[in-house]
Structure 1
Amino acid sequence: MLKKDTIYHFVGIKGSGMSALALILHGEGYQVQGSDIGKYFFTQQELENQNIPIFEFNSDNITEGLTIIAGNAFGDEHPELVKARELNLPIQRYHKFLGELINGYTSIAVTGSHGKTSTTGLLSHTLKNLAPLSYLIGDGTGFGDEEANYFALEACEYRRHFLAYSPDYAIITNIDFDHPDYYQSIEDVAEAFQTFSNQTKKAIIACGDDEYLKELTTDIPIYYYGFDDNNHIRAINIDRSVNGSSFDVIVNDTLFGYFELPVYGKHNILNALSVITVLNLEGFQAEDIAEHLATFTGVKRRFSEKQVEGLTIIDDYAHHPSEIKATIDAAKQKYPDRRVVAVFQPHTFSRTIALLQDFAESLNLADDVYLVDIFNSAREEAGNVSIIDLANRIDKDVEIISQDHLSPLMAYQDAVILFMGAGDIDVIGNQFVSSYAQLKPNTL
C-alpha cells in the first residue's frame, strides 16, 4: 500500500493521532510532511525533532505527487482538500488509512471507555523490547520501525471511529457510558464494542470484572482477565505500596509468573494483566515480560508528577468519574500519609449533565475539592448546566477557582494536588506551579 516515491501530506498533522501516524511513517522510511494552524501544540515537538516539515494551512501546500491523509477534524470543504481533489490526488481519512496500514502486521488494538492510552503505552513499552514494533498512542506518541512485524495502536470508540480497524488482537479494558454527545445509552456503547469485537481476527482480551464485557459474543476466543476468580488470567498475592504494585499472575489455574509494576492504582494492575495476556498468547516468556513491565514510567498527561516547594503536583487527563476514582486511588496508594486535593475541570456540557451525580461521588473520595468552570468543547454548544450544579452535589465545601483566582490553593503545604480534566486544566496547573514557586506558603 505504501510507496517510497511519494510524499504523504497530513492535513491537520498536529492532531494527536495524526502526529503519531506521521511519526510512524517517517520512522519506517517514508517521506512525510503536514499542515495545521499556526498555534503551538505539544504534539508538534517530536515532529520538529524529526525534522518533519510543518506548514500553516494553505491550498498552495498541495502540489502534484502528494498522497493526502486527512484528519477527521476537517471537512471536505477544507481548502487543502478542495485543491487535492482538483489535482485528482489520492485522499484518505486518518482512520481508514490506519485501518489499512495495520493489515501488514500482527496488530494489537487497545480500546475501552477508559485506560486506552495507559494500556497502549504499557503494551508498547514492553513489546518494543521483545520484538520489532511500530506503535501509535493517543497522547500523540508514535514510533515506526522499518523491521516491525507487530503494530500496537490505541483505538478510540468516539463516533465509532474504531470500526475502521480489523486487528488481529483486541484488548478491551471496560465499557462505560461516555461521549453522551454521540452515544445514546450504555447499550449503544456496548453495541459498538460488540461490532468491533466481531471485526477482530484472532482473539479478544477483555476485563472479566466488567459486566458489559462479560456479555460479548464472538466466533473467536475471548480471554478474560481481572481480579475475580472466574477469569482466565488473574492477579493474586497483590501488594500495593508506595513503590508501586507487585502480584502473581495465574493463567488457567497455573502460576505464570511474578510481576512488579512501578505505577499506581488498581486500574494499572488490570492494564498490566491485559498486556501480559496478549504477550503470553504470542509466546513470550513471563520472565521477559516482567523485566520490561518493571521499567514502565507512564505516558503523557497520565499521573504526570512534578515537585514544587514541598507540594506534589499531578497532571492527569481524567475526565470521567471512573477515571477520577482511579487517579485518586493511585494518589492515595503512593502518598498514603498526605492530603489529596482534587482540582477538576469538567469537559463538555453533555458529559457533565449526563454524569453529574457520578462526578460528585468520585470527587468525594478526595480530601478537598476545587472546581474549574466547564470546558466548552468546540464540538457542542453550551448546555443547561453550570459548575455550581456540580459543586452543590459534592459533600464537602467546594471553591471555584480559575487561572486568575488561584489563591485558595496557595495555603497548602506537603499536600498532593491533582489537576484533572481533558480541557485546559494543565494550563491552570502550570500557572499554579509558577505562582506557588514565587509565593511560598511560609511567606503568606
Structure 2
Amino acid sequence: MSSTAFSVAAVVVAAGRGIRIGGGMPKQYRRVGGQAVLTRTLAALGCHAGIARIQPVIAPDAAAFYEECLGELDPIVRGKLAAPVPGGETRQQSVRAGLEALERAGAPDLVLVHDAARPHVDFGLIDRAIAAGRNHRAAVPGIAVSDTIKIVDDAGAGIGRVRETPPREALRAVQTPQSFAFRPLLDGHRAAAEAGLHGFTDDGALAEWAGLSVVTFEGDPRNRKITQPADLIEADRAFGSAASAPGFSAMTQYVTRLGTGFDVHAFTEGDHVWLGGVRIPADRGVLAHSDGDVALHALTDALLGAIADGDIGTHFPPSDEKWRGAASDQFLAHACSLVRARGGRIDHLDITVLAEAPRIGRHREAIRARIAEIAGVPLSAVSIKATTTEKLGFVGRAEGLAAQAAATVRLPEEEGATLVDAQAETAMRQG
C-alpha cells in the first residue's frame, strides 16, 4: 500500500431492525441527545480527516428514516457519504453489500466496518483502527475482560454445566470499527458466501475463517453498542444538552482550551468584501481562493487550534479547485462540527478585524448574528471588534485587511489529559 496514495473508507452497517429495544423504530434511528443514533455515528466518522468515503448500508424500507438523518449532518460529512445500499437478512450479507458497493465506486486500500449503533466512537479509536489496519491488514478493537468467563454446556432454562474457565488475560471483548485491507476482506466475504456460510456476526471471525492473521488493538470502554432500552437512556444522558451544546454532559469533567487564528488578504478590484459571513459593500474586493472572508478564516483556525487538528489549509487545501470561490461559512461550520464530534462545547468566539476600510460598525450586529447561526452558539458567545493600525503597515496603507480570532472551547477531560500527559512526557525527556 503506497504511503502517498493510501485511501480509507468506512462501511456503516445500519440495516438491522433493532426490534429488541422496542419503541416501534429501529434503534439506529432513535434519538439520543436530540439527534438520531445513526446521525451521530455518521458525524463521528465523517468528521475524521482520515476517512475519505462512507458507505451506509440500510434496510430497504428505511429510506425515509435515513433521509431525516442526512438533514442533520454537516455538509462536509454529507459530501463523504455514498448513496446507501440495501442490506441483507444477516449482518454478514449487509457488510458484503457495502463492500461490493465500495468496489464498484473504486476500491479503497483500507476499510473500516462499523456498527451504526455505536455512536460513541471517537477520533482516538478511529486513529488506532486506521494505524492497526494499515500495519497488520486485519485488526479489531478489544477491551480486556474484567469478569471471569465460564464456557458451559447449556442444559436449558438458564442452567449450564461449566466445561472450562479460560484465563481472563487471554480474553477480549471485541468492538467496531474493525479495520481490514479492502481486497482480502471482500475476497473472504465472497468465499464465505460461496461456501454457504452466512452466520458470521463479526468480520474479524470471518477474516480468521478466510485465513487472515487478525490482531487486536486497544478499544474504548465508552464505545458501547446500543442494544437495550437502558443503553438508549444512558446515551441520551451522555449526548444530552444539559449545557446547551450537543455532546456536552454535565456528568463529564471538562477542560478548557483556547485557540487563536489569523488571516490576511490583499485588496483587488471589486465592489464588496465578505466579513463574518456578511457581504459588505466596498470600493474594492479581496484577492483570495475562496470568498476571502478573513474573519471566518481566522475563527476557523482558532477552533481547529483549540482541538489541535491542523489548520484551514489542512481541511480545505487551496490547491483543490472545488474550494475556489467557496463560501467560508462551510469552513467554520466544519470546524464547529469537529469540536462537537469530540464531545466539546464552544464557549466563546472573539474576532478583531484590522482594516482602514470598510468600516464595520453598522454591520457589527449582523456579523455577530451570522456567526452565532453558523456556529450554533448564543449571540452572547460572539464578539467582534475592529481597529485600524494608525496608518502603519500594509493595513495602514490600505493595501489589504486582516483578522485575528480567539476561540474558547471545553473538551472532555480525557482530551485534555492526553495533551497534558504528552507535554509532561516531552518535558521529562528533555530534562
- Tell me which interval the TM-score lies in, with the shorter structure as reference length: under 0.3
Which one has the bigger helix percentage?
2
Q: Which has the larger radius of gyration?
A: 2
TM-score (norm 1): 0.26
TM-score (norm 2): 0.27
